[in-house]
Amino acid sequence: MDETRSQSGSSAALMDSVYRNQRHIYDLTRKYYLLGRDRLIARLLPPPGGAVLELGCGTGRNLIEAARLYPEARFYGLDISREMLATAEANIRRAGLEDRIRLACADASAFDAEALFGRGSFDRVFMSYTLSMIPPWREAMAAGLEVLAPGGQLSVVDFGQQERLPGLFRRLLHAWLAKFHVTPRADMLAAAHALAAQHKARCEAGPLYRGYSVWAEVTRV
């Protein structure tokens, strides 16, 4: 337990240092290369009155977009960086969605949803370009599946291996991402299928944009 807390503290400090200044321009710069986020949101389709949780909510951009698209659902987000959450809170207030979006500071790989939000399960859980920044990323996927209600869906989109893109582009992109402590997970799709099999869930997954991104949806049955 002490080791887990130490790792979470180190990750929080790192993310705060990375985004202390970047958070002010994050959405403006990332919209050009975090491909597949809006596709994920369009496929969420939460039930009326449903609850949606984003793990690694960052600036709140995805939560705001989803809340606007699904006005009958309630939204929750957590992030390990208090710096990013400060920006998310401001953005949510600006959008007038404080009554429908709740935020909390927590580690996506080890959190207590009941303690944070007063509820232990969600109809939809999603992670958008966060697994590539979370060292215990497999644990984060498992934690997301753990809080799914029966029939719920875990949705993920993140960087792929760019296997069908030019080699120079791939090398430059990976070098650029490394500056921000981002590591595309080569076996993310295999991990999603394995997690689904372990929990007798259904999994759909595949590449997007010639391998630039990958997506996965794990549904409890």
Say which CATH number the domain at 215 has. 3.40.50.150
The angle formed by the CA atoms of residues 42, 48 and 49, to the nearest 5 degrees, is 115
| Full domain range(s) for residue 191 | 2-219
- Helices 188-198 and 137-146 cross at an angle (nearest 10°) of 40
Q: State the pLDDT at residue 33.
A: 61
Whose tokens are 């953005």? That residue is: 91
Q: State the pLDDT at residue 174.
A: 84
Whose tokens are 């400090």? That residue is: 13
Whose tokens are 């130490």? That residue is: 6
Q: State the pLDDT at residue 121.
A: 98
CA distance 211 to 134: 21
Per-residue pLDDT of the chain (221 residues; tens, 9 = 90+): 444 444 555 555 545 554 554 444 444 445 546 899 999 999 999 999 999 999 999 999 999 999 999 999 999 999 999 999 999 999 999 999 999 999 999 999 999 999 999 999 999 999 999 999 999 999 999 999 999 999 999 999 999 988 888 888 888 888 888 888 899 999 999 999 999 999 999 999 999 999 999 999 999 98
Domain count, the chain: 1
CA distance 199 to 85: 32
